[in-house]
Amino acid sequence: MRSYEEQRQPNISQESCQQREALKPPEEPQAPSSSSAQVAPSSRKAENNLLERMLEGDNLRLAYKRVVQNGGAPGVDNVTVANLQAYLKIHWESVKAELLACTYRPAPVKRVEIPKPGGGVRLLGIPTVMDRFLQQALLQVMNPIFDAHFSWYSYGFRPGKSEHDAVKQAQRYIQRGLRWVVDLDLKKFFDEVNHDMLMARVARKVTDKRVLTLIRAYLNAGVMVDGELERSREGTPQGGPLSPLLANILLDDLDKELSGRGLRFVRYADDCNIFVASKRAGERVMESVSRFVEGKLRLKVNREKSAVARPWYRKFLGFSFLSQKQATIRIAPKSLIACKESIRELTHRTWSISMEERISRLNRYLMGWLGYFRLASAKTHLQKLDQRIRRRLRMCLWKQWKRVRTRIRELRSLGVPEWACFRMANSRRGAWEMSRNTNNALPTSYWEAKGLKSLLSRYLELC
């Protein structure tokens, strides 16, 4: 039976020759060879001993190393990553016996709410460090089985792929003339995954029933909220090492459907953008793909947040594009607003911490933020952010100089003329206004000497 898009092919044939050429199915490039890449087992029989492979010494040592590197908060049992080694020495033999006997029961995950930049909260589930260790060990033997068959255009939580790769692929589509995007938003994806549908897809390649039982146990472990256990009837909580792979397994059906229709798409976890040559084509794709997602995968499409629009009006993984043929990558406006809000919180003048500690925390946040957004063309934005940060720090410093005597002494030590010291110290203007007046007294060199790192300077180094 022909797909919906194939039935509508006569309409697409009316597009220009250039548009038809752009809509041809892409040739998937070959994945680069990597020393970390693993070869998927060649037969289903080889997967009957998946649990034994999970429990091999080398695999467990690697899992332990990665769990320790990732760190993170303790789960419901309050065992920290630092205590994992001691915990394993005491409990490992009994846990291993339970795994082999299919009687192991994971602990519930601890519910944590993370505020979203655009409002609302994202629900995370933090497993115990023991369950994180076991999930990581299971992930390492399952990932080669599934990843080799995933679409090239799926970038989320996969070896050798990143958010930057996904954004660059989206840029290439726009440069080829596909200047309309179907921005598909899945409503509460990680909270509403159907367990039976997910397990059926895992069982396509995993035949070890003990592993299937263990995965089902993790899905049904439940969530601890304010000391009360809530049973899990659907969803795969974000926060565990195994959840991203399970999400990719379920959404691989969407990837195959899009590829089968010859559509150009980029997917990172539950963020999926489909690029087309016209608004009309985008509306058809939005309607038909939404029916597939809701009918075949039993997921919900958020109609309010999904849209067919120009790429430069939408946000993808925190980035956007300039409305030019080059499709220059930029920082999305909402991402800049979120950054400014974080800077405001870190430089709140009523926060009683030393300037050294404030600058240290600012540096950690700013360098991490820039490390992600270094892909964008952002010299002007970074220059303005640097200026904003220095002004807010001057505001904090003026607030710390509460007394007139203190202000006179500090300004005098900075080389400010005597008459200006008395005039500024006795000013009735607020701290924010005085942060502008003290610009010459507290220049960029002053903050560099205090250890403040410049976003613009670091950006130019990375470029």
Tens-place pLDDT, residues 49-76: 899 999 999 999 999 999 999 998 899 9
- State how far the alpha carbon of 35 is from the alpha carbons of 39, 60, 156, 159, 377, in Å: 11, 19, 20, 11, 32
What pLDDT was estimated at residue 419? Answer: 94
CA distance 230 to 212: 22
Which positions ≥6 away from 433 have C-beta within 8 Å?
none
Written as six digits, the tokens of 266 are 């980029």
Q: Any idea what the Cα angle at residue 434 is, between residues 369 and 348, rounded to 5°? A: 40
Strands 223-225 and 109-115 come out as parallel
- 174-203 pLDDT, tens digit each: 999 999 999 999 988 888 889 999 999 999
Q: Any idea what the Cα angle at residue 196 is, between residues 192 and 200, rounded to 5°? A: 120
What pLDDT was estimated at residue 408? Answer: 94
CA distance 144 to 54: 12
CA distance 316 to 268: 9
- State how far the alpha carbon of 356 is from the alpha carbons of 194, 301, 401, 404, in Å: 49, 47, 15, 23
DSSP bridge partners of 125: 111
Q: Which residues of the chain have pLDDT under 50?
A: 1-44, 46
What pLDDT was estimated at residue 446? Answer: 96
What pLDDT was estimated at residue 395? Answer: 96
What pLDDT was estimated at residue 235? Answer: 80
- State how far the alpha carbon of 432 is from the alpha carbons of 28, 135, 399, in Å: 55, 50, 9
Decide if 442 contacts 394 (C-beta within 8 A).
yes
CA distance 378 to 380: 6
